[in-house]
Amino acid sequence: SFLVVGDGRIYEVRFLKAVVYHTYNFNSKAIGISFMGNFVNKEPGCVMFNAARALIDCGVEKKFNTAYREIQGHRDAKCTA
């Protein structure tokens, strides 16, 4: 799992091969990318999106998680109240 902060820095918060429990039924086949902030009234900025895109591009280039290549939001996988 990874965390993207406001200035575009990316932190690896769990080892890449660790199974994390962020979304039911996707834990063993997904890589989590979180954005730090409160985005109720304001969306994440371009710097954060560009950093996440660079992270995804790097993962594709290095062939991480090649079996599953779909980008989904947390609520796309399971309803969250």
Q: Give the pLDDT of the chain (81 residues) as one tens digit per residue.
A: 889 999 999 999 876 666 666 666 666 667 788 899 998 888 889 999 999 999 988 888 887 765 666 777 766 666 665
- The reported pLDDT for the residue numbered 9 is 97
Instruction: Report d(CA 2, CA 52) in Å as an integer.
Output: 9
pTM, full prediction: 0.74
- The reported pLDDT for the residue numbered 23 is 65
- The reported pLDDT for the residue numbered 65 is 63
Q: List Cα–Cα distances, 74 to 5, 60, 62, 63, 65, in angstroms.
A: 18, 20, 24, 23, 18
- The reported pLDDT for the residue numbered 53 is 92
Q: Where are the domains of the chain?
A: 2-76
What share of residues in the chain are helix, strand, coil (percent, to 5)?
Answer: 25, 10, 65
Put the strands of the sheet holding 2-4 in their side by side order.
10-12, 2-4, 33-35
